[in-house]
Chain A
Amino acid sequence: MIENSQSKPNMMRPTAPTSNHISLVTTPRKILCGVLAGLAIITIYSLATLDNANLNISDAFKSLGTNLNAMFLHPTVGQDSWSLLLHALLTSVALAMLTTILGAIIAFFIAVGAARNLAPTWLATTIKSVMAFIRAIPTILWVLIYSAVMGLGASAAVVGLTFHSVAYLVKAYSESIEETSSDTIEALKASGVGFWAIIFQAVLPSIIPALLSWTFIRFEINFANAVAVGAAAGADDIGYYLFMAGNFYFNFHEVGLIVYLLLGVAIILEVVSMHLRSHYLDHN
């Protein structure tokens, strides 16, 4: 026999199969199969109970074909003008940028309190739970909730978007901070460096790439959210015009044009963020 070269034995001593029938099923796989089966059941149930409002599916798909044709092959500005739409698009981008930057700054300071290696456990846990709760409620609902207080419009949108961004970024930032080595922090603490000095001299430089990349991801999300807010809560941006063109004027052509504009911005954002990230990573 050959002896086993593994020096540390596993916690549970593995045993050779004894029965004649050799099964290939293991516990984690059972769980995985269980989860997939559960999801499949939910899927079938919802498919069966899907409310199709007496819709003729094949007709609907056919009309979708003609509509898509009208939207994407013949886009026009409809009853709004180019300058109006571009201005609205700019508003959306500005809204996304403003809320991301505001959110990032606020989130960074809160994240310091939520990181387990910097803050006391009770504080970190409290902050994280509160943030999890805020995150759980969709952005659009926050905007509507604030609009009940501040009235529909841009200010409710800014506050609502920022609010959700903060919750999202606190989670991302605090997890990045927790990944920095605690040895460095302890060494600096031992030599009597102040709390904020540690954060700006030791923690921040090592996590900047991670922070940057999370902030960009959030920027992309916020752009989509800004459009959604415009459509659902009437902030005066591109989403609003999209909603009006779609729901009130039934102007396929304008919907098509707006979708093209959104697609363009989204792709530009993606390219820019990819470049910035790789640029920053190269110089680190």
Chain B
Amino acid sequence: MPFLSTIVASLFSLVFAILGAKTTTPSPILRLVIRFGASILRNIPVVAWAMILLFSFKQSDFTGFLALFFMTLGYLTRAFTETIEDLDAEKLQALQAVGANYFQCVFCGVLPEAASTLTSWILYMIENNLRDATLVGLLTGTGVGFLFDHYFKSFHYDAAGLIVLLIAILVICLELTSNQIRRAIA
């Protein structure tokens, strides 16, 4: 679930970020709208998202997915926008000077230049969401969070402890792998 919401959110974020970054935005008004939207999505805590969505989506994986999705969308849109704005605007000018159009500039200039930074943001967000997924699970009664809650509330501390240990191992493995990947693509 954390994978799913991160990846889907990152696809959307990428589009929003390209439209919203100062260097690549087609219109300044759109940029303001995107920045404002992202800031709202990001600043609503994930708990509140879970509560808002619980009404409509009940106790399904979908609630958790959407709660993580919205928060990730806010975070990544901002992170991606800043990454793109940090790129040297002159490099895009160089492509414009070659006669490339907007889409060619984005695909041949912005994306390759930012690819490794964007990927590390996505990996970071997956780690983060894995942790938050537990919380969302606790609140909405899904996934591993629900399992923990179940054992914990019925005083099966041994089983609950095992779950905690498993989560820790998973997060650490993920952290190590993504560090490796980051080094490989840098």
Contact = CB atoms under 8 A, between A and B. Distances in A.
A60 B7 contact: no
A227 B47 contact: yes
9 contacts: A28-B184, A35-B185, A43-B8, A60-B62, A138-B167, A141-B164, A144-B152, A262-B43, A263-B44
Given A132-B175, A141-B134, A270-B43, A64 B57 contact: yes
A224 B46 contact: yes
Interface in B133-161: 134-135, 138-139, 142, 148, 152, 157
A140 B152 contact: no
Contact of B61 (A36, A51, A145): A51
Interface string A196-234: 000000000000000000000000000110011001100
Interface of A: 28, 31-32, 35-36, 39-40, 42-43, 46-47, 50-53, 55, 57, 60-61, 63-64, 67-68, 71, 132-133, 135-141, 144-145, 148, 223-224, 227-228, 231-232, 239, 242-243, 245-247, 250, 252, 255, 258-259, 262-263, 266-267, 270
A212 B39 CA distance: 22
B30 interface: no
B43 A243 contact: no
B52 A67 contact: yes
B8 A32 contact: no
B54 interface: yes
A36 B3 CA distance: 12
Closest 4 pairs between A and B when the two form their complex, measured CB to CB: A246-B51, A53-B60, A266-B43, A136-B171
B83 interface: no
At the interface, is chain B mostly helix, strand, loop or mixed? helix
Contacts of A31: 181, 184-185
A50 B135 contact: no
A55 B57 contact: yes
A239 B139 CA distance: 11
A96 to B, nearest CB: 11
> Size class of B's contact patch?
35 or more
B56 A61 contact: yes
Q: Which of the listed residues B43, B65, B164, B175 has the most CB atoms from chain A within 10 Å of its own CB?
A: B43
Given A55-B62, A259-B52, A262-B45, A140 B138 contact: yes
B135 A232 contact: yes
At the interface, is chain A mostly helix, strand, loop or mixed? helix
Given A60-B56, A140-B134, A243-B139, A46 B1 contact: yes
Contact of A136 (B46, B138, B175, B186): B175
Contact of A242 (B51, B65, B168): B51
Contacts of B152: 144, 148
B32 to A, nearest CB: 16
A64 B59 CA distance: 14
Given A239-B47, A252-B55, A136 B172 contact: yes
Given A55-B62, A60-B57, A138-B167, A35 B181 contact: yes
Contact of A43 (B4, B61, B135, B148): B4
Contacts of A43: 3-4, 7-8
Contacts of B65: 50
Contact of B164 (A36, A53, A137): A137
Given A50-B4, A53-B59, A262-B45, 18 more contacts: A32-B185, A39-B3, A42-B3, A42-B4, A55-B60, A60-B56, A60-B62, A67-B52, A138-B135, A139-B131, A141-B164, A232-B47, A232-B139, A246-B51, A247-B54, A250-B55, A255-B48, A262-B48
